[in-house]
Chains A and B, each alone.
Chain A
Amino acid sequence: MPEKITLIVNGAAHTVTAEPDTPLLYILRNDLKLKGAKFGCGLGQCGACMVLMDGHNVMSCEVPLWSAVGKSITTIEGLGTLQSPHALQRAFIGEQAAQCGYCLSGVIMSSAALLAANPEPTLDDIKQALTRNLCRCGTHTRMIKAVQRAAADLKAAK
């Protein structure tokens, strides 16, 4: 049966009515209209749906709504906006690190989790942190450069 469930997304509380086993991804996209996270596989294999839950990157297609209750969820929209982008988003734009961009929000969210835990990642750290994010366009090298640039920018800003 559908239930009323309250979620904390990008710092604000939202109440939705849905089956508790609904994948978080659909709630974000369809109920909260946050279209940044994408459906790629629904199987936890591609990372297109990546968001942060209490600071960890999780595949929202695999997170049932009930298990997100009480957690702090951050989506790409919560990171920064078109008008005031986050350092990572600025770096991805600066490096022109996208082709189709469908994987991009997932990659940026995994990068955000990485930089929060490890502000000075090595090349290998970055590759390992992003390896659950698939990109078919082959934009990987630029995305890696973007993460390096964001790490440097964040350090300089401290």
Chain B
Amino acid sequence: MNAPVKLPGSLDANRQLDQWLKFEADGTLTVFTGKVEIGQGVVTAMAQIAAEELDISLAKVRMVSGDTVLTPDEGHTSGSRSIDEGGTALRYASAEARDLLLREAAKRLDIPLDKLTIEDGVVSGFDRIRRVSYWELPHTALLAREATASVKPKAASKHSIVGTAVDRLDIPFKATGTPRYVQDIELPGMLFGRVVRPPSYDAQLTAFDADAIRKLPGVVAVLRDGNFIGVVAEREEQAVKARTAALKAAQWKEVPIAADEAGMHEYLRTRPDNKETLISERVDATAKARGTRKLDARYTKPYIAHASIGPSCALARIDGERIEVWSHSQGVYQLRYDLATVLQMDLEKIIVHHGEGSGCYGHNGADDVALDAVLLSRAAGGRPVQVQWMRDDEFAWEPYSPAMTTDVHAALDDAGNIVDWSVEVWSNGHSQRPVSIKTPSPVSSLLSAWYLEQPVTRRTQADPPMAGGGGMARNAPVIYALPNERVVAHRVEVQPLRASALRGLGAISNVFAIESFMDELAAAANCDPIEFRLRHMKDARARAVIELAAEKAGWKPGTQSDGTSGRGFAFSQYKNGYGYMAVVIDLSLEPDPHVTRAVAAVDVGQVINPDGVINQSEGGIVQAISWALKEQVRHDRERVLSRDWETYPILTFAEIPAIEIHLIDRPEEKPLGAGEIAAGPVPAAVANALYHALGVRLRDLPLTREKIAAALV
């Protein structure tokens, strides 16, 4: 048999047209997408794409997203790939559907194809008398076929919906408090569950009187399964009280964490089982020999939390043999697969519906709490149980962005050109998400599975391959035109703290290092930092964003700082193949270090919704400033100490800078996500601004007042 032809984006794995589109009896179109809303506006963007290709108004489009019964399996909504994978699939599916419908209409109306026009789903000839709507055509039969991707989507110049700042479909609901989130769903007879976690990762439960907790008001079930404890009660406050009592009652034997904060980077770098991989190498011995000044620097980034505002939540019920789960997971099919593994059930017996949650920015507790809800529903005889983690559950148990070290070495020739360059990275793998891949013996990504009496083995961390943008070595290779380059990654196997994917993955540390180091080299070469970058940059789109940011910010080479404020620049192309951002940061040191202004130039190829891109860019900038100045998961040898917003502070309204985003639209280029483009350059630009202000170079994130003071003495 011939291998099926490769279809674009997620269409390849979901090949039926009617998996994507359904014309409804009420004159609307339902669009099915496997990508889900996580605050980035992607569902609206998908609606725009379908409406555009089919020539119908947005008002007629209904979206269904992330559902193991209804929608295609498009993997995780992550890595800024949604528009690329899901949007592309939908474009081709819609273009083909339009073509099929149009041909059918031509037959029925007896008008040649090229004489037909479509207006809001109504096909007519010039006379507008002979007309037929999509809904009057045999659409069900027409769409019951495999896609061929042979119909070319519209040219960008013909777009009237895509590329415009369409209002997001979800915001009116959210602004009026209309129930919308998993947290808001109520089923008849629903109970409330809470988890009772150990005080530290490897603690063993030595004593627990479950019966005492069962006697508390409203308590319906107390589940103790190995080292997992959960409580279920009629009312939410009763579940919270039962949890508090259970936390007090449970006695644990704790196991220390392998290193404290101060010793963590060193500990991770020196593990004997670290695995070294050569990521890339380019050798030009002649150029290298011209090097006269060598520079080396080591940069470090701590564990960072996703720190969603709403703790993770899920709802589950068990009806006989069938389990139904509502979750804000980024991958409902992958979650289902993992649940089936842990519960030893057939996939078909589990249904997972996506519901919106608080922004997650990567792999947080969303999947974990879904298992908690199933376990507690089972303990409560299958009744619907809503479980929401408490604040400290979220902070202490979510998988953090791993601590990383990035070393950079370079040599300059006499003319101030980079002639040698190497980067070395140490990190855990950057993903421990659920995946739908069969392993020889069962493994699970879900937290509670590891704590059961019959535990399921913890899935080993994966690290996305470089072909997909990489994980720990993401953006460790540069797009500067350098004659020599060597990039080595050291994969750390031990996980003293739980770690997985956070927005940007390794790019946070690597771009922080590389773009800080570019400034260090520029200083050594006695050159303006932007001029120095341009000198080493051939990529035209990169040059354009760098120049635009400099111009819009009013960058003036050679400007001296007054010692209380500074200005810094940084640039990166996300994954070296995705969106570009160049950013100028103004930093003030009075009274505490804070950013006063951020000016960014952004190129994410074709822009589907300019307002969405700006919103995502602004959000990314704010979050990355917060990482740069404040964030670090606190812990000692005993426990994680970051358990609330006082022990894990983030940027507040009072500290928000003025932000300007300047978009370069490239309608004929591939559309790329904007969610992660700020993750790398912003922390580097902040560090560079600090250097400009005070002449001190901090290489260890976060850039706190204490570290600045220590560097100044």
Which residue numbers of A lie inside 8 Å of B, CB to CB? 18-19, 22-23, 26, 29-30, 33-43, 45-46, 48, 75-77, 79-82, 85, 89, 92-93, 96-105, 108, 126-128, 130-131, 133-144
Contacts and interface: CB of A to CB of B under 8 A. Distances in A.
Contact of B309 (A46, A85, A97): A46
Given A35-B179, A100-B39, A26 B653 contact: no
What 3 pairs across the A-B complex have the smallest Cβ distances? A36-B177, A138-B622, A100-B39
B177 A37 contact: yes
A121 B177 CA distance: 25
Contacts of A108: 175
A92 B183 CA distance: 22
B176 A45 contact: no
Contacts of B236: 26, 29-30
A36 B181 CA distance: 10
Interface stretch (B201-209, B352-360, B600-608): B352-360
A127 B656 contact: yes
Contact of B652 (A42, A131, A141): A131
Contacts of A30: 235-236
B237 A19 contact: yes
A92 B357 contact: no
Nearest to B328: A100
Interface in B155-191: 167-168, 170-181, 183-184, 186
Contact of A96 (B167, B391, B654): B167
Interface centre among B175, B356, B615, B650 (most CB of A within 10 A): B175
Contact of A99 (B177, B179, B359): B359
Contacts of A100: 38-39, 309, 356-359
26 contacts: A19-B217, A22-B237, A35-B183, A36-B177, A40-B311, A41-B645, A48-B310, A93-B167, A93-B171, A96-B168, A99-B40, A99-B41, A99-B359, A99-B616, A100-B356, A105-B174, A128-B654, A135-B309, A136-B309, A137-B39, A137-B309, A137-B623, A138-B621, A139-B619, A140-B622, A144-B653
Interface string B228-245: 000000011100100000
Nearest to B660: A141
Contacts of B626: 138
B590 to A, nearest CB: 15
A130 B653 contact: yes
A103 B247 CA distance: 28
B545 interface: no
A46 to B, nearest CB: 6
A39 to B, nearest CB: 6
Interface in B479-496: none
A51 B235 CA distance: 21
Contacts of A131: 652-654
B615 A96 contact: yes
B357 A102 contact: yes
A99 B619 contact: yes
B390 A42 contact: yes
Contacts of A128: 653-654
Contacts of A134: 309, 645, 650, 652
Interface string B593-626: 0000000000000000001000110111111001
B644 interface: yes
Range of interface residues on B (Cβ < 8 Å): 35 or more
A23 B240 CA distance: 11
Interface centre among B177, B311, B645 (most CB of A within 10 A): B177
B619 A35 contact: no
A131 B653 CA distance: 5
A133 B646 CA distance: 13
A146 to B, nearest CB: 9
B41 to A, nearest CB: 8
A130 B655 CA distance: 11
A41 B344 CA distance: 34
B658 interface: yes
Contacts of B421: none
Contacts of B390: 42
Contacts, number: 178
A75 B174 contact: no
B615 A34 contact: no
Contacts of B310: 38-40, 48, 102
Contacts of B359: 99-100, 102, 136-137
Contacts of A98: 39, 168, 170-171, 174-175
A20 to B, nearest CB: 11
A76 B177 contact: yes
B361 interface: yes
B457 interface: no
B200 interface: no
A77 B177 contact: yes
A59 B155 CA distance: 51
Interface string B31-64: 0000000111100000000000000000000000
B7 to A, nearest CB: 31
Interface centre among B180, B237, B621 (most CB of A within 10 A): B237
Contacts of A138: 618-623, 626, 651
B308 interface: yes
B307 interface: yes
B388 interface: yes
Nearest to B598: A141
A92 B176 CA distance: 10
A104 to B, nearest CB: 5
Contact of B391 (A36, A41, A79, A80): A41
B659 interface: yes
Nearest to A101: B174
B656 A140 contact: yes
Contacts of A103: 309
B644 A41 contact: yes
A45 B309 CA distance: 11
Interface string B437-452: 0000000000000000
Nearest to A108: B175
Contacts of B654: 127-128, 131
Contact of A102 (B40, B358, B615): B358
A62 B179 CA distance: 22
A133 B651 CA distance: 11
B237 A99 contact: no
Contacts of A46: 309, 645
Nearest to B621: A138
Nearest to A75: B177
B237 A101 contact: no
Contacts of A79: 176
A86 B708 CA distance: 46
A133 B653 contact: yes
B262 to A, nearest CB: 27
A18 B237 contact: yes
B171 A101 contact: yes
A89 B217 CA distance: 39
Contacts of B175: 85, 89, 92-93, 98, 101, 104, 108
A135 B186 CA distance: 25
A18 to B, nearest CB: 7
A82 B174 CA distance: 9
Contacts of B309: 38, 40, 46, 48, 100, 102-103, 134-137
A89 B173 CA distance: 10
B608 to A, nearest CB: 14
Nearest to B238: A19
B618 A89 contact: no
Interface in B5-39: 38-39
A134 B653 CA distance: 7
Contacts of B645: 41, 43, 45-46, 134
A33 to B, nearest CB: 7
Contacts of B179: 35
Contact of B644 (A43, A93, A130): A43
A130 B653 CA distance: 6
